[in-house]
């Protein structure tokens, strides 16, 4: 039987970070286990290939939710990374930290050490910002953060129109943690996607104290008298056990970490018993508190030449392919969302609760997750409510750890979320009617000029809303009976077991969640070294 000091489960946005930081100590042996294979192929590194990575492919779990009442009974396709780098290897690469008040609220809720001022050093440590370091930006860290490879005039028109409506310009919008409008930075370097595997682990892959195994599916944590002593894995169709001499660290993500806990007998006792799983610890919060950003797109037709679409269709896409291969720049070197405005849905909210993400491009989406660039001149603006009040749940489908969990998003269970989205659509429309961007727009395509009432816009939201890929919160940090981990990310009631990934967020951050998840990996590894396991 193999023994390592630390067994890290999941080589995703946080797991790659944790494995790197733990293995920085040559005196410890670290095993990193990933259920997927290493992502290979042209589109896995090309920023514009994200649409292909979102849809069903070997590097994507390709989950599907239960039918959602708030979405007129639709089930949603939920992409999640199943490869080295996890979701950072298939996402839209947008790098935003969220609002500083998000973290201050975590600390005020009883999570000491998680305020903005306390997480900021970890944010700065993870990044090497193209703009250089300052009081909020990091320089010299593993992850390269860059401005868009192209900054077409319509992007600046969006920013200036928002300013005309009173939204302040913020130069460091991605990292400063305040509301405003500006350019969004991305985890792209020299025209290539930067996953956390690329940034953190590939440079140290040869370390003798670090073992990385792919296509190794962890099925449960092995417990002895409520002490985590190892993991059970499925490799090549065979189950075996690997010992952890110090700790087991779950970094499997907001859907798979609670699933693993439940298959290990940690969770709501009644649910576990209903599947014939022996209860090691009744911890009812496991899988609860699921949050996500549901987004909708306002799409408008533009004057010819304004949109990026024409460069990614027809004969021009081959020209762009050659340009990318030769110089790693051009339209293929860009993500989709290049600017954003963080605004308030109404005057009564404490801080910005809407993200309006501008794309000089437009897509069409299939129910299976397939994303295709529209063959028309068009741009789009996506909106989501940054701090949804609705809460969903992850449950087990059966006692089979290889079966997809039951995903219950409960979008719009709280009517406040729908009200915020309606406000967001109206803000987008007003912004697109404002100069200078108004001069570039010919007509609204979606929701369309016929949709004017709240009832019509509500149906548009329910019929077209989709995930922003920001699921989190299912192993919530806290000290109350429904919390799963403490502020040091140790699982309550189980010794030598931590969760370090997006599932520990008490509330979702106000923006794209990949950067906060990487920060959680950094801070979680530091906490693991500083605070002993709860033996």
Residues serving a catalytic function are 470
Half-sphere exposure of 490 (CA within 13 A, CB side): 21
Alpha-carbon distances, residue 428 vs 217, 363, 444 (angstroms): 44, 17, 11
- Under DSSP, is residue 74 helix (H, G, I), strand (E, B) or coil? strand
Cβ contact 341:199 at 8 Å: no
Cβ contact 468:509 at 8 Å: no
**Long-range contacts of 64-67, Cβ-Cβ distance < 8 Å, separation of 24 or more:** 64/404, 64/407, 65/407, 65/408, 65/409, 66/406, 66/407, 66/408, 66/409
Task: Name 54's Cβ contacts closer than 8 Å, sequence gap at least 6.
Answer: 60, 79, 90, 369, 371, 469
Which residue carries 């002490």 as its tokens? 227
Judging by DSSP bridges, how do beta strands 339-343 and 180-183 pair with one another?
Answer: antiparallel
Q: Tell which residue, 312, 299, 78, has the closest CA to residue 320.
A: 312
Residue environment code for 91-123, b if the CB has 16+ CB neighbours within 10 A, otherwise e? bbbbbbbbbbbbbbbbbebebeebbbebbbebb
The C-alpha atoms of residue 246 and residue 249 are separated, in whole angstroms, by 10
Asked whether the bond before 131 is cis by omega within 30 degrees of 0, the reply is no
Q: Which helix (H) or strand (E) is 3 found in, with range?
A: strand 3-9
The C-alpha atoms of residue 504 and residue 484 are separated, in whole angstroms, by 8
Cβ contact 173:182 at 8 Å: yes
The C-alpha atoms of residue 508 and residue 291 are separated, in whole angstroms, by 7
Phi, psi of 228 (to 5 degrees): -75, 120
Alpha-carbon distances, residue 175 vs 91, 127, 184, 345, 361 (angstroms): 18, 10, 9, 22, 24
The C-alpha atoms of residue 245 and residue 252 are separated, in whole angstroms, by 20
Q: In sequence order, what E strands does 97-175 have?
A: 127-129, 143-145
Q: Which helix (H) or strand (E) is 309 found in, with range?
A: none
Residues forming beta bridges with residue 498, ordered by sequence position:
249, 490
- Under DSSP, is residue 17 helix (H, G, I), strand (E, B) or coil? helix
């Amino acid at each position: 039987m193999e023994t390592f000091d630390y067994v890290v489960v999941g080589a995703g946005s946080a797991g790659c970070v944790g494995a790197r930081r733990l293995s920085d100590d040559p005196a410890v042996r670290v095993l990193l286990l990933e259920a997927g294979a290493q992502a290979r192929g042209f589109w896995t590194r090309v920023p514009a290939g994200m649409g292909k990575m979102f849809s069903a492919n070997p590097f994507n779990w390709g989950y599907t939710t239960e039918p959602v009442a708030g979405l007129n009974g639709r089930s949603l396709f939920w992409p999640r990374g199943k490869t080295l780098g996890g979701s950072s290897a298939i996402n839209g690469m947008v790098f935003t930290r969220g609002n500083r008040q998000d973290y201050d609220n975590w600390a005020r809720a009883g999570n000491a050490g998680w305020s903005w001022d306390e997480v900021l050093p970890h944010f700065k440590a993870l990044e090497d910002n193209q703009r250089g370091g300052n009081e909020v930006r990091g320089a010299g860290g593993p992850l390269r953060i860059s401005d868009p490879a192209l900054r077409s005039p319509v992007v600046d028109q969006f920013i200036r129109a928002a300013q005309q409506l009173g939204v302040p310009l913020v130069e460091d919008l991605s990292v400063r943690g305040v509301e405003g409008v500006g350019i969004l930075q991305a985890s792209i370097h020299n025209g290539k996607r930067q996953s956390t595997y690329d940034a953190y682990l590939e440079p140290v892959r040869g370390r003798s104290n670090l073992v990385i195994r792919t296509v190794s599916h962890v099925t449960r944590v092995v417990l002895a008298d409520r002490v985590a002593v190892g993991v059970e894995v499925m490799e090549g169709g065979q189950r075996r056990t690997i010992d952890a001499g110090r700790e087991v660290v779950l970094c499997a993500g907001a859907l798979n970490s609670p699933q693993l806990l439940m298959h290990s007998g940690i969770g709501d006792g009644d649910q576990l018993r209903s599947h014939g799983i022996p209860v090691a610890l009744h911890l009812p919060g496991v899988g609860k508190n699921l949050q996500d950003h549901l987004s909708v797109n306002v799409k408008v037709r533009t004057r010819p030449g304004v949109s990026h679409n024409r460069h990614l269709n027809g004969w021009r896409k081959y020209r762009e392919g050659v340009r990318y291969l030769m110089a790693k720049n051009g339209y293929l070197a860009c993500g989709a969302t290049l600017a954003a405005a963080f605004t308030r849905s109404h005057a009564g909210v404490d801080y910005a609760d809407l993200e309006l993400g501008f794309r000089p491009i437009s897509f069409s989406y299939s129910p299976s997750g397939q994303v295709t660039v529209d063959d028309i001149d068009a741009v789009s603006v996506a909106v989501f409510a940054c701090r949804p009040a609705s809460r969903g749940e992850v449950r087990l489908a059966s006692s089979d750890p290889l079966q997809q969990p039951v995903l219950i998003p409960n979008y719009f269970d709280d009517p406040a979320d729908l009200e915020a989205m309606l406000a967001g659509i109206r803000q987008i429309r007003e912004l697109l009617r404002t100069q200078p961007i108004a001069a570039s727009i010919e007509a609204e395509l979606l929701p369309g000029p016929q949709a004017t009432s709240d009832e019509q816009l509500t149906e548009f939201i329910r019929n077209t809303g989709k995930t922003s890929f920001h699921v989190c919160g299912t192993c919530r940090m806290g000290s109350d009976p429904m919390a799963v981990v403490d502020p040091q990310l140790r699982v309550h009631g189980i010794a030598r077991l931590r969760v370090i990934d997006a599932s520990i967020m008490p509330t979702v951050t106000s923006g794209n969640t990949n950067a906060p998840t990487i920060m959680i990996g950094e801070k979680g590894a530091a906490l693991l070294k500083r605070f002993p396991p709860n033996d």
